[in-house]
Amino acid sequence: MDGKLPFAQRISIWLHLLMCRHCIRFRNQLVFLRKACRVLQPAGNPSSSSPCLSRKARESIKRALDEKANNFEIEG
């Protein structure tokens, strides 16, 4: 999604997506989030009036994500 992959990798991922419903779901979620971000933040206009999170909210989200990642590493 973020860049061009070599042909062999593209085929490998495509074949995997034919079989793995979890990765298909994850890919669909990523596609949705990318589209949502484009709608909320118009390209080339970072200071637009689109909704922004406060510093406190960003820090809270970061702490929660870090905690989840640490728990996953311990359990996974």
- Assigned domain for 14 exists: yes
In a domain, 24, yes or no: yes
Any domain includes 1: no
Residues 27, 17 contacting (CB under 8 angstroms): yes
Residue predicted with more confidence, 49 or 38:
38
Q: Does pLDDT of 76 surpass 50?
A: no
- What does pLDDT average to over the chain? 80
Q: What does the angle CA 41 – CA 45 – CA 48 come to, to the nearest 5 degrees? A: 70
Domain that holds residue 37: 7-42+52-75
For the chain, strand residue ranges (E) read none
